[in-house]
């Protein structure tokens, strides 16, 4: 299936990539709101209407960038975990390593982070294509917890009755094998991690937190505790 199908197809792939690259550059420089199809086309030496052959609308271009961004954080998280794992780190150390990786990625790519974890562009509905890449970071955490709960895990307090069925369902859906209380705690921890990073990135910590790195390290460690990863 990797046959060269001809100059036209090849060109299409290249132009599509060039558009995405230029769009990503502008996104990084100015943010999603100022990403304009016309500016991208201008920079590429084509006329704006030609661009619609490759992306049927601005939203579709944004969606492509969103998928790439999800893949980018996901890869960063997976890589950080692989490194920690190779170094023989404990599950808790792997957890914090992934948290730090997510934060570092966000600080390096603030606009792409805002694109995926900030307020969605109004009226924008995430297409199905995004859910795979979107879950890579979550899956990294699940992998860590799975490894931890084969070995010595921390006992989590029992779930309130109102949450038992929900936790069972979540476990069956995407975290098979984990104790349901851990699954629930993980989802909450993930949302909280995003909250911490967003607060730092979106200016909520201005005039409040100075030493953000130390603060985040401590918070990430506390999150690890919250999902039942024992210290040391």
* Residues of this chain that bind DNA (CB under 7 A): 5-9, 11-12, 15, 35-39, 45-50, 52-54, 56-59
Report if residue 10 touches its own copies, rule: CB under 8 A. Answer: no
Dist. CA 232–CA 229, nearest whole Å:
9
Partner interacting with residue 142 (select from DNA, its own copies, none; CB below 5-8 Å by kind): none
Helical axes 110-117 vs 91-108, angle rounded to 10°: 110
Tell me the Cα Rg of the chain: 21
Dist. CA 118–CA 138, nearest whole Å:
17
Report if residue 1 touches its own copies, rule: CB under 8 A. Answer: no
CB neighbours of 202 closer than 8 A, spacing ≥ 6? 114, 118
Report if residue 107 touches its own copies, rule: CB under 8 A. Answer: no
Report if residue 226 touches its own copies, rule: CB under 8 A. Answer: yes
In the chain, count of helices (H) and strands (E)? 11, 0
Q: Which residue among 13, 48, 120, 127 contacts its own copies (CB under 8 A)? A: 120
State in angstroms the smallest separation of the CB of 143 from its own copies.
17
State in angstroms the smallest separation of the CB of 14 from DNA.
10
Structure tokens belonging to residue 81: 């975990």
Partner interacting with residue 46 (select from DNA, its own copies, none; CB below 5-8 Å by kind): DNA
Report if residue 186 touches its own copies, rule: CB under 8 A. Answer: no
């Amino acid at each position: 299936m990797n046959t060269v199908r001809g100059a036209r197809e090849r060109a299409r792939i290249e132009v599509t990539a060039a558009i995405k690259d230029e769009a990503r550059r502008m996104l990084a420089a100015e943010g999603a709101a100022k990403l304009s199809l016309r500016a991208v086309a201008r920079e590429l030496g084509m006329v704006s209407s030609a661009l619609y052959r490759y992306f049927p609308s601005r939203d579709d271009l944004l969606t492509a960038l969103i998928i790439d961004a999800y893949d980018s954080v996901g890869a960063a998280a997976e890589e950080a975990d692989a490194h920690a794992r190779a170094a023989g780190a404990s599950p808790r150390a792997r957890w914090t390593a992934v948290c730090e990786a997510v934060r570092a990625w966000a600080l390096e790519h603030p606009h792409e982070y805002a694109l995926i974890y900030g307020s969605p562009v109004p009226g924008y509905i995430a297409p199905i294509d995004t859910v795979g890449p979107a879950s890579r970071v979550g899956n990294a955490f699940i992998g860590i917890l799975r490894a931890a709960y084969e070995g010595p895990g921390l006992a989590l307090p029992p779930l309130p009755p109102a949450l038992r069925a929900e936790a069972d369902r979540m476990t069956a859906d995407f975290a098979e094998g984990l104790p349901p209380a851990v699954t629930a705690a993980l989802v909450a921890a993930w949302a909280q991690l995003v909250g911490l990073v967003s607060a730092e990135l979106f200016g909520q910590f201005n005039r409040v937190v100075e030493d953000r790195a130390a603060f985040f390290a401590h918070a990430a460690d506390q999150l690890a505790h919250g999902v039942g990863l024992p210290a040391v």
